[in-house]
Amino acid sequence: MKVKGEIVETTKYKGIEIKIYYGDITKLEVDAIVNAANTKLIMGGGVAGAIKKAGGEEIEREAMKKAPIRIGEAVETTAGKLKAKYVIHTPTMELDFKTDENKIKLATRAALKKAQELGVRSIAFPALGTGVGGFPKSKSAEIMIGEIKSFIDNIDTTKEELRTIILADINEKQIQEFRNAIKALINHI
């Protein structure tokens, strides 16, 4: 494994780069960073807390003005002091902190759709549902990569703005699970 703060793998699928970043998602210079939110858009711990800490409390204040939202929806806010233009908030759970395969699938899809609406060229995802939600890292990676592949399969990649999707995590095991899922779902073709 490379050191934290580096892209460890890049895969090209139908003209779109899918990169795996071992490090802090808040350090990335991308158009949009995804926040694995709850439906009330309260930014407590985990990735949401890290985004709020690095980007500023105004991100949470702006998000909460748009709350509540349902699982399967996504809203954008400005990114405060982050190097991104937007934070895309997509819930993977209610306030019961329980998630499942369908919620992760819907959240991934909603974030990609919102990115498309915003015309972003690059987006960074954390592992969805694996923190507070306690969902298995391997299954989350598999679901997310499956949804990313499906999204790319269903857009006109010659006309779309989106060129780079980054999967970011500070957990080495999660990075390996992203690599395994890409190998199984994309690189086997």
Read off the CATH number of the domain in which 10 is found.
Answer: 3.40.220.10
1 falls within a domain:
no
Task: Measure CA of the first residue to CA of the last residue in the chain; give whole Å.
Answer: 25
Going by pLDDT thresholds of 50, 70 and 90, the confidence category of residue 43 is very high
- How many domains in the chain? 1
62 falls within a domain:
yes
pLDDT, tens digit (0-9, with 9 covering 90-100), for 99-154? 999 999 999 999 999 999 999 999 999 999 999 899 999 999 999 999 999 999 99
pTM of the prediction? 0.96
87 falls within a domain:
yes
154 falls within a domain:
yes
Q: How far apart are CA 60 and CA 184, in angstroms?
A: 36
Percent of the chain with pLDDT strictly greater than 70 = 97
Q: ∠ CA(19), CA(179), CA(99), 5° rounding? A: 95
Residue 40 has phi, psi (to 5 degrees) of: -90, -10
pLDDT for residue 2 is more than 90: no
90 falls within a domain:
yes
> 101-118 and 137-153 are packed helices; what angle lies between their axes, rounded to 10 degrees?
40
Q: How far apart are CA 121 and CA 103, in angstroms?
A: 25
Q: ∠ CA(75), CA(119), CA(25), 5° rounding? A: 60
Residue 146 burial by CB count (10 A; 0-12/13-18/19+): exposed, middle or buried?
A: middle
93 falls within a domain:
yes
Interstrand relation of 6-13 and 122-126 (parallel, antiparallel or unpaired) = unpaired
Residue 42 burial by CB count (10 A; 0-12/13-18/19+): exposed, middle or buried?
A: middle
Lookup: tokens for 73 = 């929806």
| Residue partners of 156: CB distance under 8 A and separation at least 6 | none
Boundaries of domain holding 102:
6-185
172 falls within a domain:
yes
